[in-house]
Amino acid sequence: MSSEMIVVCGGGGFIGGHLVADLRRQGFKNLRSVDIKPLGEWYQKFDDVDNLQLDLQKREACEKALRGARVVYNLAADMGGMGFIENNRALCMLSVLINTHLLMAAKEYGVERFFYASSACVYNADKQRDPNVTALKEADAYPAMPEDGYGWEKLFSERMCRHFREDFGVRTRVARFHNVYGPNGTYDGGREKAPAAVCRKVIQAKQSGKLEIEIWGDGHQTRSFMYIDDCLKGVEAIQNSEILEPINLGSSELVSINQLVDIVEDIAGVKLKRSYNLKAPKGVNGRNSDNTLIRKYLNWEPEVKLRDGMEKTYRWIHDQIASGKKQH
């Protein structure tokens, strides 16, 4: 097992915390985890990891984070679900400072491998107007018309990774995440995404005896959701691959938000009266991942069935709520 230092930026977050846990499981010893949140608010924290609380929008913080690093995973961003993204566009854009300063530090310190977590929000909105969406191919990001704020920042940062690779030799790899979900993540407070939000709403409806649920949008909008275990497998495979261009990392199992609620109701053993908030943020009408390219390169694609992943996610959120734990 290599002793080279691996740094996970955003390690106190949902995906980053799982990535640190997975690297530890594989036997990597020289790990550093960096996040802006106070250590007590990290989703997962390990005493045998070098845990640093730093604001990676600042250049000096990025230099401190990457000193001695050989491999870097940049999962750090100020983000959340559609409610957060649509109402905090400037904050989302400022994440460009994180990737910019990390790339500058990576170049300065001769980092060997640099992974950047992009998003399906980079895709052209015109190709996502129909719930019966044609799955998005990597080429569909151009001509550019991404999600305002968050999507533009991701697309710009993808290009920066490309040019640091071409001009300075920093070995960058980029994956476009499609809706990652699972245990040990946000399920309350405004930054949660649809799978966790639906789990929380169903659990609270069942607990209160008020068997109703509010759904954002008309419920017909479609998405694909990738379970965290698939995400980790993909991230590490892409980091260690020869894939130069940004690549989709998502499930191709398309589901409407109504169908997602059906699944969670079935897990919970309950049926709820539905009301639809048409004024709430709902994002694009349809989005799915075309996995032709990742199958070609890796002979693999995300494979955990939505029902199976949602069952694990529901159980974890249920236990958190039942134990009276509050999210920060």
- 37 phi and psi angles, rounded to 5 deg: -70, 145
Tell me whether residue 227 is one of the annotated catalytic residues.
no
- Half-sphere exposure in the Cβ direction for 34 (13 Å, CA): 26
Report d(CA 150, CA 96) in Å as an integer: 10
Helix axes 194-208, 257-268, angle to 10 degrees: 40
CA dihedral 188, 192, 198, 201 (to 10 degrees): 20
Strands (E), 10-102: 31-35, 50-53, 69-74
Cβ atoms of 14 and 180 closer than 8 Å: yes
> CB–CB of 66/33 below 8 Å?
no
Query: In whole angstroms, what is the distance from residue 73 CA to residue 190 CA?
Result: 25
- CA dihedral 147→148→151→154, nearest 10 degrees, is 170
Residue 118 pairs in a beta bridge with 176
Catalytic residue among 116, 150, 181, 314: 150
Is beta strand 172-177 parallel, antiparallel or unpaired with respect to 113-119? parallel
Would you give the distance in Å from CA 36 to the centre of its chain? 17
Ordered DSSP codes for 162-201: HHHHHHH---EEEEEE--EE-SSS--SSS---HHHHHHHH
Residue in this structure with the two tokens 């640093």, named with its chain if needed: 52
Q: Which residue has the tokens 């909105």?
A: 125
The helix (H) or strand (E) run that includes residue 119 is strand 113-119
Show which residues are catalytic: 150
